[in-house]
Each structure stands twice: as C-alpha cells, then as structure tokens.
Structure 1
Amino acid sequence: MAVSPQVSTELWDEFHRVVNMTSRELREWLSVDAAGEQTEELPDKSGRPTGRQVLDVLGKRRTDLTEDDVQVMQRVCDIVRSQRPPDLDPKAGGADWRRSLMSIGHDPLKPS
C-alpha cells in the first residue's frame, strides 16, 4: 500500500464530521454488534470490514493515510450522505438503518 499523495482538506473534514463516533465507541459497537448468543468475535476481527477500516483511519495521522484509506474515507462519506440527507429527521430511519450507519462510525441519533 503506497502512501496517498495528499488527502484533500474537504474529504478529511467531511470524514471527521460524518464519523461522529469516537474510536472507542466504534470499537465497542463493532464488538457488541458482531457478538451472537453463543459466540463473540476477537476484538480486532469484530464488525464489518468497513467499520474496521474506519477504525484504522481514525488511528492515523493525515500524512500516514494510504490510497486504500482515502477510498474508505470517500466511501463512508458517500454512504452517510446518501443514507442521511441533512434534512432527514434523525429518528426517521428504523433500527436496521441506524445499526448500518453505526457500523461505519456514524450515529444518526448523536447530536452534531
């Protein structure tokens, strides 16, 4: 994985705006969401791949991001933008909608 040339300020800012869960909140959510009645995944393997990638990005400095990280950042911004338009009431979606967004670091019920 090569280091990305430069992450735009717009993408960097948007990503950190839409990912409104802290690393700790996201890590805990991924562990809880992945746990079943009889099983529990290892902490570094729990949750959806995109959620784990978001955790990786949150743990990096802007200068350490790879091209893969930039693609994840863009994909997460696109997903949140499409699933949660600015005028959408935070409670307008169902539980699955919220769980899906939380799996990538966005809690629609968290105040902005």
Structure 2
Amino acid sequence: MAETNIDDALWDEFHALANMSSQELRDWLATADAGEQTEAPPDQAGNERSRKVLEVLGKRRADLTDDDVVVMRDVVEAIRQARGDQPEPTAGDDAWRHRLMSLGHDPLKP
C-alpha cells in the first residue's frame, strides 16, 4: 500500500482546529443524536461528515488514506470559515457551537 502524502502544515492545522479528542467527539455525537425515546448506535451517531472526522481523529498519521486527507482539508476549511478571524474561545450561539463541535472543534475549548 502506497503511503499517503500529507504535509506537516495540514496535519498540524487539522489537529489544532479539531481540538476535541476522538472520545470527546464520539460522546458529543452520541449526546447530540440522543432523543427522549431513542439513541443512535455509537457507530451511527452524527452525520456522515462527523463520523469521517471521528475516524480521522482516531488514526495515526501513517494510517491516513487519500480520502482522509480530503476530509481533513474540508474540515479545516469549514472550521476556518465558521470561525472567521475569531481564534479566541467564544460562545456564539448554540447552533453555531454545535455545528463546529460536530466537526471536532469546540469553540469554548482553549
């Protein structure tokens, strides 16, 4: 299997912006999907994009695929776009925070 080419800048930025651990994201997705009567199975919690982020967060750099690199670029861009020029922790509204948390970024986490 050929090694996936991922540059240091993308690796570092993804892990700086996706500031939730894989366990924190897994817990968040399970909580966000839990209803009064039902709860999604752990491997089905969250949307497809969120599950892909969770998968990437759980991998070592050497185990990344080309598809994982695409996910990382997409997530970095989405978080940057949602955060704007606001790098400091900030509350924002709940829907905004929840969207970011579904990408692995908790805007209240230092």
TM-score (norm 2): 0.91
| Partner residue in 2 for 1:110 | 109
| Partner residue in 2 for 1:62 | 61
Find the residue that maps to 1:109 and give its secondary structure.
Answer: coil
Whether the 8 Å CA contact 2:56–2:68 is kept in 1: the answer is yes
| Partner residue in 1 for 2:25 | 26
Residue identity matched to 1:87: Q
Whether the 8 Å CA contact 1:30–1:47 is kept in 2: the answer is yes
Find the residue that maps to 1:30 and give its secondary structure.
Answer: helix
Residue identity matched to 2:5: Q
Whether the 8 Å CA contact 1:34–1:41 is kept in 2: the answer is yes
Find the residue that maps to 2:79 and give its secondary structure.
Answer: helix
Taking only the aligned residue pairs, the percentage that are identical comes to 51
Residue identity matched to 1:27: R
Whether the 8 Å CA contact 2:14–2:72 is kept in 1: the answer is yes
Whether the 8 Å CA contact 2:4–2:64 is kept in 1: the answer is no
**Distance in 2 between the 1:38 and 1:51 partners?**
22
For 1:34-65, what per-residue CA distance to the aligned partner results, in whole angstroms no more than 9, with x for missing partners?
11111111001111211111111111111211
Whether the 8 Å CA contact 1:14–1:77 is kept in 2: the answer is yes
4+ residue runs over 2 A deviation? 2-5, 85-89
**Distance in 2 between the 1:88 and 1:59 partners?**
24
Aligned length: 109
- Written as runs of structure 1 = structure 2, the 5 A alignment for 1:1-112 is 5-87=4-86, 90-91=90-91, 93-111=92-110
Q: Which runs of 5+ in 1 are unaligned?
A: none
Instruction: Indicate the RMSD between aligned Cα atoms, in angstroms.
Output: 1.6
Identify if the C-alpha distance between structure 1 residues 34 and 63 changes in structure 2 by more than 3 Å, giving closer, same or farther.
same
Q: Offset of 1:3 from its aligned partner?
A: 5.4
**Distance in 2 between the 1:87 and 1:107 partners?**
13
Whether the 8 Å CA contact 1:80–1:101 is kept in 2: the answer is yes
TM-score (norm 1): 0.89
Q: Which runs of 5+ in 2 are unaligned?
A: none
